[in-house]
Structure 1
Amino acid sequence: MAVLPIKFTKTKRDRLAQVLWVLNWISVVTGIILFILGIFLKVEINKRQDLMAERQLQSVPNMLISVGLIACMINFLGGKICYDCVDTNKFLRWKLVMLPYIICTFFFTLSVLVGALMCYSMHGQLEEALTVGLRDAMRYYKDTDTPGRCFLKRTVDLLQIQFQCCGNEGYRDWFQIQWVSNRYLDMSQREVVDRLRSNVEGKYLMDGVPFSCCNVNSPRPCIQYQITNNSAHFNYDYQTEELNLWMRGCHQALLDYYTNIMHSIGLTVLIIWLFELSVLTGVRYLQTSLENVLRQGDPECESDGWLLENSFVETARSNFNIIKHLGKFNQISSNGDPNIDKPSTAHYGPDNVPLKPLPTAS
């Protein structure tokens, strides 16, 4: 029994072909949208790749770019096929192409769904990449004279200003690393030397943060040094007063930023997947209804269209049997003829007695 059969008249078939022709051209536009979304995501990731560890984050934008290009090609071909299907005679030249086209389109539609799911599953990789990347960027913040790292100070400062954040998880992260280069420390001052000696690793640690952590909305001048020393500042209590620093960590700020982008792209791709699935369903109905017209031999007659000619169970069983027979055929081909290595039995006539050798003349 066919799955979801629908009866089509000549008018309905022609109308379906025309609608599918339009929808395929719209699908070309959606393919361009997928391509643009992939490029946009790739640019956004590359823009801050210095703040991220290598975690295969490019797989999602590359997937979207590839799917977008394939969508343009497949739907362009689909538009041509549907346009010709208005005429039954023109359908004959596409008859052998239709089923492979539908199968390819099915797997393409499945890849669109995979792309949407990848957008939502990227959160874990992104979180880990940001944690490691921001930690390393803060560690190398002071290396302004080291090749390959001299740009990180500017990158981190712009990040904290633009996203209104401070540190990895918070401003206290700066207390645990030396973010001032030794070349800017006055070694003639005893306080500086004592601070360096007091640290096991010989680092100059202090309760201060870079200028980019300062909250520009605070009415008080920024307090970025001796943050935990109440006596160093007038009318100041760091435990009770709201500091004039950005409270949010840059890890959370960037994670929220990219998560919003990924969810927006994922929702868009999911909508495109539903649209592509509807187009694929329409093309399948058009193909089966036109094939039934050819069987009946009357272009003006009514015909049935369906998604599957048999039920899901019967179709699965049939495909399984085909695969099983192919497996047996391959097994026989690999083993060769079973009679090749079998020793043959000699037959010596009805009595099965070997012939005596002829006497030789002496």
Structure 2
Amino acid sequence: MGFLKTYSSMFWLLAGIICGSIAGLIFGERVTVIKPVGDIFLNLLFTAIIPLVFFAISSAIASIDAGRKLGRILGVMSLVFLSTILISGFLTIVAVWIFPVHQSVTLSHDVNLEQPGNWGEQLVRLLTVNEFYELLSRKNMLPFIIFSGLVGFAAMRTGEAGAAFRRFLQSGNEVMKDILTLIMKLGPVGLGAYFAYQVGTVGPQLFGTYAHSLGIYYGFGTFYFIVGFSAYAFIAGGFGGVKTFWKYNIVPTLTAVGTGSSIATIPANLEAVGKMGVPAEIGNVVVPLGATLHKDGSSISSIIKMAVVFAMFGKGFDSTSVIVMALGVTVIASIVEGGIPNGGYIGELLVMSIYGFPVEALPPLMIIGTLVDPLATILNATGDNVAAMLTTRFLRGRAPAAA
């Protein structure tokens, strides 16, 4: 019963999608009459996402202890987080090249992903805007994320003078998370209506594209969980590190499955890393921050979602510029998603914003994100444990001493 309660929202979404699929198959293009229901749901998401991103990012950064004693730990930890996210993202790209997403479903060929101007102009447009109000558009998500990070950093640096503002950011974050939770209660109906429209207009071959992408995710995700994490544990402590990691990682893995949350897995992770030999001063920093900032599972899903949407819109996912941008988006999305219910949808909106995909791209992104959630949670949560081992290795110059 606890498992059903934890994943009840996912099951309701799946129920809505299944009902929508059946309606699309039965009524065909006549089902377009309910498309406005899906549009209303998506517009509510688009409206809420900007303030949610601002409060989530700025409050997370503002709450970091700026003490000098943490500087070295935070520096090494950040490098470990960034490295594993990029490794998981790049290996997923390789997996997508080996098992490409079939382009049997093409929603549109009219999406132009090329940005005009030279490289410098593209970089300026990607990272900044020249008017404050332009930050409030979902089409400028990356500049807005950068601005939110600067606000959080400034709030952290102001010390006591900024205490009231930090409390405002934290309070605003809680309110916006609840707003998103309320909106997502409409998800089964909204996504069901949109999926009915897509199945009714595109046809049942849509299912093959989703099945193929899920097969890639669960196949590669399982490989990364077993082989990738074992490799990281070996770097941290040799064969003894591998044995120790898997010995004490069982409880956090089961906790992640049962709770469906990286945040809720923090207590189990803290106990586990202590038994793995990670000092308390390192584990107490890496594990809580990792639950928010370190998401290998989200990195893998971000790449697969991008590959699927590129295929659905008849675009190639193989050029150097696209791959470099995809890795950058993966890093940002993995960081932004942390600690937010249904936070993966923020990463999906970021994909749409940077690549210029239309609103029709969001339902496929959301559906895939929903279906991969159990394994993604395991990778996100337990990846913090092996990251703590790596951080200990690089800080101390020796393997963690297991209990």
TM-score between both structures, scaled by the size of structure 2: 0.21
Q: Which has the higher contact order (CA 8 A, sep 6+)?
A: 2
